[in-house]
Structure 1
Amino acid sequence: MSNEPEKTLYTLRIISAENLPRQSRWSKKLPNAFVSVKLNDFKHQTNVAQRKSEPAWGEIFELIDAGASSVLSLEVRHKSDFMGLGVKLAGISIRVEDLVHRCPGGQEVVLDLNSDRRAHAAGNDPPRIKISLSVTDPGAVVGELVTEAQNAVDSVAVTPAGTAAQRIDDAAAAISSIQPILLSLDNVLSKIDVVVKIVDDMVEVHPYAKFAWTLLSSAYKVVQKQTRTDQSVVDLMKAMETLYSFVSVADHLVDGKLDILRQNIKTILLQTVECAAFIRDYAHWGFAGRVVHGVHSDDAGTCKKLIQGLFDLQGNFQTGLGVQTAFVSSRTLGIVTEIRVNQILDGLMPADMHAPEHSECLPATRQELLSRIISWVTDINCEQNVFWLHGVAGSGKSTVSTTVANYIREMHHLGAFIFFDRGFADQSHPSKVIRTLAHKLGTFDKRIGKAISDAMEGYPGIKDASLLTQFTELLVKPLSSLASLQNEGAIVVILDALDECGSDDTRTKLLQVLKTQVHELPSFIRIFITSRPLIDIRGALDHQNVHNEGLDISSSTNSKDISAFFRVEMKKATEKHQDLPLDWPGDEKINELTSHACGLFIWASTASRFIGHYPASRLETILGGNITATQSPLDELYETTLKSAGIWSAPDLLQDFHKVLSIILSAQRPLTISAIKQLLSVSQSEGSTSIVPHLYSVLSYDLDNPATPVQILHPSFADFLFDTKRSGENAWHINKDTAHKDLAIACLKRLCTNGLKKNICNLTLVCQHWKSKDLAEDITYACIFWVDHLSAIADSSSIAPIIPCVEKFLKEHLLHWFEAMSVLRRSRDTIRLLDHLLRRIPVSVFSTESLYELKLTCILD
């Protein structure tokens, strides 16, 4: 009597075939090949590989109740076009016991096939098939069929009587044992535990291991609540288990080898997160639930795609090669390629977002917060589809959002990353937010793009409609119509630094839309928002539909993260300055720096940049500062930094500081050193841009690349200079109205002084293509923003000095300005700008002739 277990589970993978014979003596066509699998009562076949010389399938099957002496039959067949008949090309029969011995540890094996069509083969070699077979320890299969059937009956009781029986039949037909998936989940979880320990020092890999373990644990809990699942999901779980066989050898690898494979491990963990999310979402509904609730999608196809990705990653790891296989997502993603759809979406005129220069969180920092955010993203049961992270200026909100964006982007679920920056006032205007968001989502997924473009064609004037109408027509209705997206995981939208989106007055309508309408979006849309806790934003986001979390800068975890940041930055200083000891500056100094930072990452970042040039002396300068009772740590740091700049010995340098910093702070978008010089040259008194290198700690620029604009590193520095109580006593205060007035005058003088002229681009043909780059940067800026600077002046008395410049400009260069704005593709803005101008400057200051010309030109345009 056989001692074989009653139930043994094998995983068979059909990989590929080669040297197959032709389908017939008279045909030269390659076969439409598929593989037929038979074992006892189990019969199945692969998909058809159409007309390929070396067909590949990469499909896996679970073989249950197979004894060692059972015979496995594999036949490669040709699917004939005539009545769909299958013609046998080659085959083999082999005992399971023999095949297991030939596939140790589930390794791939090539088997020679028998064929009576040898004469028709392409060569003299026999036809071959590549397969693998792995065995799983036997386990009892969970029953409860009666309970499952009763649950199915109860769940369909509310459906029409005529369809209830059919739905129960459909559910029952797809039910298979869940025990294998639970066994596999247990196995993979234990192996990921090992991976976490192995990669503990791989700072860029460790977070992914933690996320994979967390999400897989969540999937395990959901699956436990079910007693049955679909075979394709079992196959996926088995593939994950096979992939993690690398753990048994990974901890024996020498450090050098493991270092080479770290990117492979990271991709494996990332793929695990994706597979775990799919399994959990699938199990959340259950098969019967998916049938009853109409949640239908190509689950088998998705599983097949994910399984193939797992096996490809396994191959890369085993060969020690770099990752050559792209990450496989369960989402059906695709960039919109239809020209018509692209053209329609471009009609939204989205903001031209510049990539943020924020750094990511240092590895091993912010881990608890990042884990909570990722868990929120992947929690399909969470009813709060908005996560609001708020904190004081400099607490590291944008660094967190950048890190989250990169994590989610790598998982192919980042629908849009919109970042606001007061230094780019034009792109950060509230009126552009919804149009930009719709455009980004439309280009993220071709189905969303098609739905939004259809909505735009049905509402031609949508880009000029109210924000409420735009939100409803461009987002809520199109997204709600795409039910299939519900089963493909979250689509994440990130709005970073919402407090820098316009002003309190201009963002009122946007916040009202977010407050009252965001819950109308389908649940798969998740919105992550960061901002300071300003009163207007808190009023819009502080309610039950929003997960509200503040950054606690006084927590011990935050202090540890800042300490870790200083250790990394000070290590960079020792590498740059070889005269410093390797352990400089020591734990005591690191602790002092951490204490001085008071929980603010921007303090740590600015201080590190300040210390970097002259580490030893500047470290003592930083630590020697005394904070008064009314002075914040940031103010004390900015004061120390400015005092140490070494540019205050000559009176003219302070004036240059004001001239240059006024332009940098009030510019609607960052300007290069060259453009700043041009605008200063037409001012009443020139300023020297040579002061810029002395402010390295607070400004961002690149002296080796003149095309790089100059801008402040953090908005808190602008707040410091604009606030007379914080900076006025030291003569660094910059008056915001004066800054806008001076820049408005500089723009107008630049346009009137060899700036604008008739046929400014020297066009010779009407059909000649205009290019905005034909205009100098300073002229371009002056054309677009001179009215905005005039409008930004709060004190009307400061407008009087500008009026003579405005009169001269309108009399001599109005039409030239129109031409330049056409070259810049900003013709539509001219009417809006002139309307703003007439609202700020009294009509009485213009002559009747100039006013008539201005109005007539506006009408004709």
Structure 2
Amino acid sequence: MRHGAQPQRLLWLSGPAGAGKTAIMGTIADECQRRGQLAGSFFFSVSSASPDRRSKRYFVTTLAYQLQQDGTLKEATSSMLASIINDPVIFQKSLKEQVEVLILNPLRVSRGSYDVTKIPRAILIDGLDECDESLEPTGPDQPVARRTREDNQTEILTVLLQALDDPAFPFQIVLASRPEPWIRRFFDSPSTAGRAAEIFLDNNYNPDKDIALFLRSKFAELRRRYNLPQTWPGEGVIMKLVENASGQFIYAATVMRFLKTPSDTPQVQLDIVLSLRPQDLESPFGPLDALYTRALLSSAKPRLAFIWLRAHQVMTYVPGVELPAWLFNSLCESSSGEAQLVLGSLPSLVQISDPTNAGDYASYTFYHKSFLDYLGDSTRCQSFPELGEEDIKRWISDRFGQILIRGGPEVYNDWESIPDFKEEFFALWFRLAAGNSSPLAWISDHILSQADHTTWIAVSCGLRDRDVGPAFRRDIFVLVHKNCRRYAPCRPACKAWRGAIFGILDKPPVDTSGCVWDRETLVKDRFCFQRIPSRPMLRERRILSTEAVHNYTGHLV
């Protein structure tokens, strides 16, 4: 970016899946940090345990917070804090408005108060293609609508260009992503063409040399750890793995994690890797898919491992869902220790992340997005062709149903944690049950008729989050009636659950906000002339109170 007659302030680093973009960006970030040149960064990650890492919601605010950390921008910081106090709902506005209020205007106000040559200049953004879809209102007091990945990623690119166009913005931006068609179109558009330097990680950059260097380093670690001969595994083996990698660093990284799997010695694991044959010889992902398949089948219960992993993928795909490992295990386990048996034997694919903040919980994370791509593509993951997405949703609904029947998880590891489990169970229900494609819509009348409806409705009235209880009651009210017909009495499950709901509602002061219980609506619904619709999809709730705004700004001072 510094070279040439007209140095460019935007660099796009792109390449196929597994080419090593994130590793490169991490190295650049470390070097910029060492030199005092890192102004800010945001690393998107769809495989992260945190939904915030795959959402655009905190993108601008994170960068704004990082930019004001430099002591030379004190005047800009003061201006930004004043803007937040004057307009506390700025965090709910569009990215364009956030960039203007939180970054550009403070920089304009403070222009001339700092030496541009002495401030950090680099802003790094990795994994733009992993910024996910979102649910946003279509207007004031309007229902939410789904914004696609393409919409959100293009919006981010647009606000970055907006910032670079402002003379007060002194920073350079390095952006890394896969070459998705809409990202490619953005950089080829007349308004952007020629304004960005581009690097595409293909064979021209000789990835084989770097992959071989990586493998030699990792094999040296294994030799020291297991006291193996200095000649192990041999240069021929390394070059064979380089050939299989086809320029994909993720293949080499997954191989080395697989060799460390405690199920057998590194040599036995290496022999397994070398014996693998891809199902699709034409696909560049063939060797990687074969490796993923073999690692998945190494689980003590491979079919159940696939179901759990796909269930995790389906649930965390819903905007706003956070799924700590203890909650996921409680949902899925049908016997003590099953989580360790099913997922504990897959250390080359999945890990339990350490909490990043006090009070957080460990979560399952995946090493690379390419594994999630593999799991969700039936042409690549062919081990269990009978298990489609509908089957996974039915399995999820059955697990929720079992919890309703038992009054809690099948496996009780700690009786004192049951109240916390129920709070989290309702919170997860709140997210998953919204919309017409909810996996919870599959819960059967048979399961609902066995559950203790009175207890669950009563518990829903005492939750800490006052939005969740009314939403649960509405969801159940709609769910139990879906199979009833106008010419016949309601089914037993419908009578029981609706009776419990009406029994609670007759005893004020119960919060019933968000539910429609007027007589005309109920009559039309009962006789199936106009059924009460499913609860609409949810926008991520991130509305800050005045107190929260002051707390936020207090941390910035």
| One-letter amino acid of the structure 2 residue matched with residue 468 of structure 1 | K
2:442 corresponds in structure 1 to 801
Pair 1:843–1:743, CA change in 2 (3 A): closer
Matched, 1:502 2:132: yes
Instruction: State how far apart, in whole Å, the 2-side matches of 1:818 and 1:723 are.
Output: 41
Would the aligned equivalents of 2:408 and 2:418 in 1 still touch at CA under 8 Å? no
Instruction: State how far apart, in whole Å, the 2-side matches of 1:508 and 1:460 are.
Output: 25
Indicate which of 381, 388, 392 corresponds to 1:727: 381
Q: After TM superposition, give the deviation of residue 405 of structure 1 in Å.
A: 1.4
Pair 1:492–1:471, CA change in 2 (3 A): same
Q: Aligned runs of 1:53-68 on 2, under 5 Å? A: none
Pair 1:814–1:450, CA change in 2 (3 A): farther
Q: After TM superposition, give the deviation of residue 546 of structure 1 in Å.
A: 4.7
Pair 1:379–1:663, CA change in 2 (3 A): same
| One-letter amino acid of the structure 2 residue matched with residue 595 of structure 1 | E
Pair 1:514–1:552, CA change in 2 (3 A): closer
Instruction: State how far apart, in whole Å, the 2-side matches of 1:732 and 1:488 are.
Output: 58
Would the aligned equivalents of 1:751 and 1:783 in 2 still touch at CA under 8 Å? no
1:547 corresponds in structure 2 to 196
Matched, 1:625 2:279: no
Matched, 1:463 2:119: no
TM-score, normalising length: structure 2: 0.67
Indicate which of 22, 36, 41 corresponds to 1:412: 36
TM-score, normalising length: structure 1: 0.45
Q: After TM superposition, give the deviation of residue 775 of structure 1 in Å.
A: 8.0
Indicate which of 20, 38, 48 corresponds to 1:396: 20
| One-letter amino acid of the structure 2 residue matched with residue 482 of structure 1 | S
| One-letter amino acid of the structure 1 residue matched with residue 57 of structure 2 | S
Matched, 1:575 2:224: yes
1:679 corresponds in structure 2 to 331
Q: String of CA shifts for 1:269-309, please: whole Å, max 9, x gaps.
A: xxxxxxxxxxxxxxxxxxxxxxxxxxxxxxxxxxxxxxxxx
Q: Which runs of 5+ in 2 are unaligned?
A: 134-146, 355-359, 410-415, 483-493, 517-557
Instruction: State how far apart, in whole Å, the 2-side matches of 1:539 and 1:841 are.
Output: 44
Q: After TM superposition, give the deviation of residue 552 of structure 1 in Å.
A: 2.5
Would the aligned equivalents of 2:39 and 2:120 in 1 still touch at CA under 8 Å? no
1:186 corresponds in structure 2 to none
Q: String of CA shifts for 1:776-832, please: whole Å, max 9, x gaps.
A: 8755653433343345875x7x6532376899899755685575444xxxx6x759x
Instruction: State how far apart, in whole Å, the 1-side matches of 2:309 and 2:329 are.
Output: 12
- Aligned-pair Cα RMSD in Å: 4.4
Pair 1:676–1:834, CA change in 2 (3 A): closer
Pair 1:786–1:859, CA change in 2 (3 A): closer
Would the aligned equivalents of 1:394 and 1:601 in 2 still touch at CA under 8 Å? yes
2:64 corresponds in structure 1 to 438
Q: After TM superposition, give the deviation of residue 397 of structure 1 in Å.
A: 0.9
Tell me the percent identity: 20
Would the aligned equivalents of 1:387 and 1:547 in 2 still touch at CA under 8 Å? yes
Would the aligned equivalents of 2:441 and 2:479 in 1 still touch at CA under 8 Å? no
Q: String of CA shifts for 1:121-148, please: whole Å, max 9, x gaps.
A: xxxxxxxxxxxxxxxxxxxxxxxxxxxx
2:245 corresponds in structure 1 to 597
Q: String of CA shifts for 1:213-269, please: whole Å, max 9, x gaps.
A: xxxxxxxxxxxxxxxxxxxxxxxxxxxxxxxxxxxxxxxxxxxxxxxxxxxxxxxxx
2:308 corresponds in structure 1 to 660
2:524 corresponds in structure 1 to none
Q: After TM superposition, give the deviation of residue 859 of structure 1 in Å.
A: 8.4
Matched, 1:858 2:510: no
Q: Aligned runs of 1:297-376 on 2, under 5 Å? A: 376=1
2:364 corresponds in structure 1 to 710
Matched, 1:585 2:226: no
Instruction: State how far apart, in whole Å, the 2-side matches of 1:534 and 1:806 are.
Output: 44
Count of residue pairs the alignment pairs up: 452
Pair 1:449–1:467, CA change in 2 (3 A): same
Q: After TM superposition, give the deviation of residue 741 of structure 1 in Å.
A: 5.4
Instruction: State how far apart, in whole Å, the 1-side matches of 2:423 and 2:4 are.
Output: 48
| One-letter amino acid of the structure 1 residue matched with residue 23 of structure 2 | T
Would the aligned equivalents of 2:45 and 2:131 in 1 still touch at CA under 8 Å? yes
| One-letter amino acid of the structure 2 residue matched with residue 801 of structure 1 | W
Would the aligned equivalents of 2:258 and 2:269 in 1 still touch at CA under 8 Å? yes
Matched, 1:429 2:60: no
Q: Aligned runs of 1:163-202 on 2, under 5 Å? A: none
Would the aligned equivalents of 2:49 and 2:365 in 1 still touch at CA under 8 Å? no
Would the aligned equivalents of 1:784 and 1:821 in 2 still touch at CA under 8 Å? no
Would the aligned equivalents of 1:391 and 1:532 in 2 still touch at CA under 8 Å? yes
Instruction: State how far apart, in whole Å, the 2-side matches of 1:818 and 1:539 are.
Output: 51
Would the aligned equivalents of 2:60 and 2:99 in 1 still touch at CA under 8 Å? yes
Instruction: State how far apart, in whole Å, the 2-side matches of 1:451 and 1:434 are.
Output: 16
Matched, 1:512 2:155: yes
Pair 1:724–1:686, CA change in 2 (3 A): farther
Q: Which runs of 5+ in 1 are unaligned?
A: 1-375, 757-772
Pair 1:575–1:487, CA change in 2 (3 A): closer
Matched, 1:700 2:351: yes
Secondary structure at 1:608 match in 2: helix
Q: After TM superposition, give the deviation of residue 718 of structure 1 in Å.
A: 1.6
| One-letter amino acid of the structure 1 residue matched with residue 148 of structure 2 | D
Pair 1:818–1:419, CA change in 2 (3 A): farther
1:300 corresponds in structure 2 to none
Instruction: State how far apart, in whole Å, the 1-side matches of 2:104 and 2:273 are.
Output: 52
Q: String of CA shifts for 1:528-568, please: whole Å, max 9, x gaps.
A: 22211112333334423752424323236311111100100
Q: After TM superposition, give the deviation of residue 690 of structure 1 in Å.
A: 0.4
Would the aligned equivalents of 1:494 and 1:528 in 2 still touch at CA under 8 Å? yes
Q: After TM superposition, give the deviation of residue 605 of structure 1 in Å.
A: 0.4
| One-letter amino acid of the structure 2 residue matched with residue 551 of structure 1 | F
1:50 corresponds in structure 2 to none
Higher alpha-carbon Rg = 1
Secondary structure at 2:379 match in 1: helix
Secondary structure at 1:694 match in 2: coil
Instruction: State how far apart, in whole Å, the 2-side matches of 1:417 and 1:622 are.
Output: 36
Would the aligned equivalents of 1:421 and 1:497 in 2 still touch at CA under 8 Å? yes
Q: After TM superposition, give the deviation of residue 713 of structure 1 in Å.
A: 1.4
